[in-house]
Amino acid sequence: MALHKLPESELKVMDFVWSQGETTAKATAAYMEEAFGWKKNTTYTVLKNLGIKGFIERIDPGFKCVPLVSRESVGRAESRTLLDKFYHGSVSGLFSAFLDDKVISEEEMKEIKELLDKY
């Protein structure tokens, strides 16, 4: 399945579903209400859309929600979109932006070097 960029609302719901591994629509709605002030119907609509898009599976009874895609696979798709959209596919351009803004710590730099050495 080709992953599509998730709107912020869907990403918030997926973040909760991923953190639980498997949850119910009721538990998801309760969390979204507490964390973001969402109404139950809003959460149920987002869950329905995620099911249509193939990100979660709805299992009855109990309207259980099971993620069908991993956080990592969505993260890779989102990263690719960012890379293509802002840096025209240039990984070095992306890293230069992080280095120029000094948002990469010395420890992260060491980890990145170790990753590069593995590949």
Domain borders along the chain are 8-69, 72-118
Helix (H) and strand (E) counts in the chain: 6, 3
Residues of the chain with pLDDT under 70: 1-4
- Cis amide leading into 61 (omega within 30): yes
CATH of 8-69, one of 1.10.599.10, 3.40.1010.20, 1.10.10.10, 3.50.50.60: 1.10.10.10
For residue 112, the model assigns a pLDDT of 87
For residue 2, the model assigns a pLDDT of 54
For residue 105, the model assigns a pLDDT of 85
Q: Tokens 């050495």, residue?
A: 117
For residue 45, the model assigns a pLDDT of 97
For residue 5, the model assigns a pLDDT of 73
d(CA 13, CA 36): 11
For residue 106, the model assigns a pLDDT of 86
Q: Rounded to two decimals, what is the model's pTM?
A: 0.78
Q: Is the dihedral of CA 12, 50, 40, 17 positive or negative?
A: negative
